[in-house]
Amino acid sequence: MNERTYSRIAACVLLAAGAFAASSAVPAADIEVSDAWARPTPPGAEVGAAYFKITNHGKSDRLVSASSPVAKRADLHISQMEGGVMKMRHLDSVEVKAGSPIAFEPSGRHVMLTGLKKPLKEGESFPLVLKFARGGSVKVQVSVRNEAGGMGGHPEMNMAR
């Protein structure tokens, strides 16, 4: 084969790969994560929670996991009232529909940070990586701030399991 044939084959392969990627993946650029925050934790606390809003400007996707260097684990959770008692349960994933913002907030969906390596201090921030089934990973900075509301300083930490 000559050089022209190789160039044509390479161009076809690139076009086919691009078409496949465009049809099956939600680019991370289509996922917008805003207002990421966490409450400060007291000294010695081993758990915290992160909150944010996700807006998907592309095709529907699912948030499947989270991670952060500030904690040993970062899990998707939800707090809900069941029989008059607030309970927290683990979520395997969270559907993120196109055009429908979804909130992670106190007394609702949140990322539970367990095994904190140090307290979360007001005014500081830390990275959080959110992994989506189709759109890949989105890295955000979480601001630590003292927000009012919920059931005390850390609503997710006061729940019955």
pLDDT in tens, 1-58: 655 544 454 444 444 444 334 333 445 679 999 999 999 999 999 999 999 999 999 9
How far apart, in whole angstroms, are the C-alpha atoms of residue 22 and residue 28? 12
Label each residue of 23-61 as H, E or C: HHCCCHHHEEEEEEEECCCCCCCCEEEEEEEEEECCCCE
Residue type, position 74, single letter: A
Predicted local distance difference test score (pLDDT) of residue 15: 44
Predicted local distance difference test score (pLDDT) of residue 81: 87
Instruction: Enter the pTM of the model.
Output: 0.75
Task: Look at residue 71 and tell me whether its pLDDT is greater than 90.
Answer: yes
For domain 26-158, give the fold.
Immunoglobulin-like (2.60.40)
Rank 19-23, 27-31, 61-65, 157-161 by mean pLDDT and report only the highest. 61-65
Q: pLDDT tens digits for 83-127?
A: 889 899 999 999 999 998 999 999 999 999 999 999 999 999 999
